[in-house]
Amino acid sequence: MNRRNSDLQDAVRRSLERYFRDLDGEKPTAIHDMVMRNVEKPMIELVLSETEGNLTQAATMLGINRNTLRKKMQDLRIKH
């Protein structure tokens, strides 16, 4: 695993640990969906910024189909 992936995993781990601490004993549900929603939108926004709004380049960087990117942008209410 390269260093950047490890740093990202550590950041996610720390955020989730903080999330569980803040629950103060409450049992969470749908953690996967919550994490994906909170990671996916800023990731797509940053990739779009890096590609200056070029959907084809952004989709390639994300490793997804351009139509999938457009659908995700619509679902997440991301404008470009």
Across the range 13-20, mean pLDDT stands at 93
pTM for this model (two decimals): 0.79
| Backbone torsion region of residue 25, taken as left when φ is above 0, otherwise alpha when ψ lies between -120 and 50, otherwise beta | left
pLDDT for 5: 74
Kindly report, residue by residue over 19-64, the tens digit of the pLDDT.
999 998 889 999 999 999 899 999 999 999 999 999 999 999 999 9
Question: Does residue 14 carry a pLDDT above 90?
Answer: yes
Under CATH, which architecture does the 3-75 domain have? Orthogonal Bundle (1.10)
pLDDT for 1: 59
